[in-house]
A and B are shown apart, each in its own frame.
Chain A
Amino acid sequence: MNMQSTPESSESVLIVENLSVSFDGFKAVDDLSFDIKKDELRVIIGPNGAGKTTVLDLICGRTASSSGSIKFRGKELTRMKEHQIVRAGVGRKFQTPSVFENLTVFENLEISFPRGRNVLGSLLFRRDAEVKDRVREVAETIFLEGVLDKSAAELSHGQKQWLEIGMLLIQEPELLMLDEPVAGMSVSERTKTAELLNKIITGRSVIVIEHDMKFVKDIAHKVTVLHQGKVLSEGDMETVQNDPKVVEVYLGHN
């Protein structure tokens, strides 16, 4: 696939408007608005408790919003259920690797393959050539083609993270949301993950939450800094890093 960077690339895939959620009076996300363009890779950073993960939870339907709207390709996500949001084209990776350890790598990917996702469909599901080819193709992308028959429990931490990314890729989501994809990875795994992300962002929009600044610099197109549930600063890495408000939040008063 080639980058389709012409006219539609300026079109917003995801529009978040005045989004708020509070837990027992604590405003985790406070009147938040931002949008993600087609093919954009956006990194969200911010101190602990800034509401980064909550924003992803809101988009993918895991948490219900108190007010505001989330529009994905014109569809209002705040009224949809999790599996409907996934089927609409939003993929979500969790902070801790969540793969099915009692299934093989192949079976993990197969479950994520977007066919036979209702009861009857999965009863009648057959592992045909299309499934096998697609699973192998994705396994190659995520560096796991050699361990397809191993159980996911036997994978290293980094491999589990890749497997989960692979499980998202096989769904071919238009919007991919990754929560700390390199947390707990070794240096070589990080490099490979950056390479992986650069490979998979083609033709889709990606939101990444990350703490590792070096990694952020390597991949980000645009950075959003969240603080206390609000956007503190937005722009390219350089702009954000030199923003005095950001410096203050991260380093405290001098």
Chain B
Amino acid sequence: MSNIFPKNMLFHFVVLAALLLIVLPMSLDVFRLNLVSKYLTYAFVALGLVMCWGAGGILSLGQGVFFGAGGYCMAMFLKLEAAAADIGCTRAMQEVGECIVQSTPGIPDFMDWASMTQLPFFWLPFNSTFLTVVMIMTVPAAFAFVIGIALFKRRVGGVYFAIITQALASVLSILIIGNAGYIGGFNGITDLRTMNGWDIRTDNAKVIFYFVTVVLLLASLLVSQFVLKGKLGRVLVAVREQEDRVRFSGYDVANFKVFAFCFGAFLAGIGGAMFTLNVGFIHPTFVGIVPSIEFVIFCAVGGRFSLFGAIYGALLVSWAKTVFSEAYPEYWLFAMGALFITVVLVMPEGLAGLYKRYCARWENKILFRRGNAYSTVKSVE
């Protein structure tokens, strides 16, 4: 096991866990903590990108598709519950603002506004908590599987793959916006209130969701580490470097790429579902091109070869976004573009690369009481 979870990895893990489970909850108010929850949901996507982009060299500019898929699955579940609560609404109740009278009670409000009278078939699984969890865990990965099989089996890769995934992100957001009656359209799915009867809008719920998010993220980190440090991770690195050599060592390379892409989509989907819970709504702007590129920037800034780097990257860049856009809202996009260019030009391994260069030595002295235990091998850690 010490191969998979070496001492310095455990050290980083303890530091991160302490930061997320103790330091931040004790030092931030509920509003700020809830913002951190939101940032952490992006970190799921960044973790997935370390797997497909860092290790496997597959740059996806469409992770928003999977983040959105997970987010929408969760939102559809919560929305049905909110809609069911509105059955039996009377004029008198509406006047005091308790609910809204619908011409077809029991269906989500936006469907009613679009004159729909019946729940579309793809909403049916979201009546059940269990099926919702199943959908969150399978729908994003299933999307990725179809895209992956279609592209990787035909050996579409590199920049072509990136462009196609970006186009898909755009297509999905347009599709959502264009189908207001079926999936909420441009307004997204809003006014989510309870989960199995428990109010998700209270401060109490927000703190609990924060901890759930952190625990899931740390678990995802460990699973990713397990996959990357095993032979599969090394095969992915090998594919990134010399795809043909892997093929001529008897591997069906496309299957490994599909796996990495699905794994990334799976994590992104969980992140999306947690996003909906923490923020209380989902919106088509979290599906399209802009968030998809932001996810890549989080990963690049943190360091695409480092799982920890990806998490810190997501936290720091999102925090910078909040601070910066509170002060100068119109300049944030320029700042982020400049940040991305700087990272690509000056520090291709991101913050994790800087850490490795300047701080790893003293860390090793403390942990191992000797110098340079880091290998010179640039695989993935």
Contact = CB atoms under 8 A, between A and B. Distances in A.
Interface of A: 60, 62, 81-83, 86-87, 91-92, 94, 98-104, 107, 110-112, 114, 116-119, 122-123, 125, 127, 149, 151, 154, 164, 167, 171
A111 B259 contact: no
The 8 A-B pairs with the shortest beta carbon distances in the complex, nearest first, are A125-B231, A86-B250, A122-B232, A100-B238, A151-B377, A122-B231, A98-B245, A112-B249
Contacts of A101: 241
B53 interface: no
A137 to B, nearest CB: 18
Interface in B1-18: 3
Interface of B: 3, 227, 230-232, 234-235, 237-238, 241-242, 244-253, 255-256, 259, 375-379
Contacts of A167: 245, 249
A82 B247 contact: yes
Given A83-B253, A112-B249, 12 more contacts: A82-B247, A91-B248, A103-B234, A107-B234, A111-B238, A116-B231, A117-B250, A118-B252, A118-B255, A123-B231, A125-B231, A125-B232
A111 B246 contact: yes
A100 B242 contact: yes
A82 B227 CA distance: 26
B289 to A, nearest CB: 30
Contacts of B244: 62, 94, 98
A101 B242 CA distance: 9
A103 B379 CA distance: 7
Interface centre among B241, B259, B377, B379 (most CB of A within 10 A): B377
B248 A110 contact: no
A171 B3 CA distance: 25
Contact of B231 (A92, A111, A154): A111
A154 to B, nearest CB: 8
Nearest to A125: B231
- Of A83, A100, A114, most B-chain CB atoms within 10 Å: A100
Contacts of B242: 98-100
A125 B253 CA distance: 17
Contacts of A103: 234, 237-238, 377, 379
B257 to A, nearest CB: 10
B232 A123 contact: yes
A30 B313 CA distance: 56
Nearest to A81: B252
A91 B241 CA distance: 19
A83 B250 contact: yes
28 contacts: A62-B244, A81-B252, A83-B247, A83-B248, A83-B250, A86-B249, A87-B250, A99-B245, A100-B237, A100-B241, A100-B245, A102-B241, A102-B377, A102-B379, A103-B238, A104-B377, A107-B234, A111-B249, A114-B250, A118-B251, A119-B255, A119-B259, A122-B231, A122-B232, A125-B230, A125-B231, A149-B375, A164-B245
Given A123-B227, A123-B232, A86 B375 contact: no
Given A98-B242, A100-B242, A103-B377, A122 B235 contact: yes
Nearest to B258: A119
A112 B230 CA distance: 15
A62 B244 CA distance: 9
Contacts of A86: 247-250
A102 B238 CA distance: 8
A127 to B, nearest CB: 8
A116 B375 CA distance: 25
A102 B250 contact: no
Contacts of B227: 123
Contacts of B377: 102-104, 151
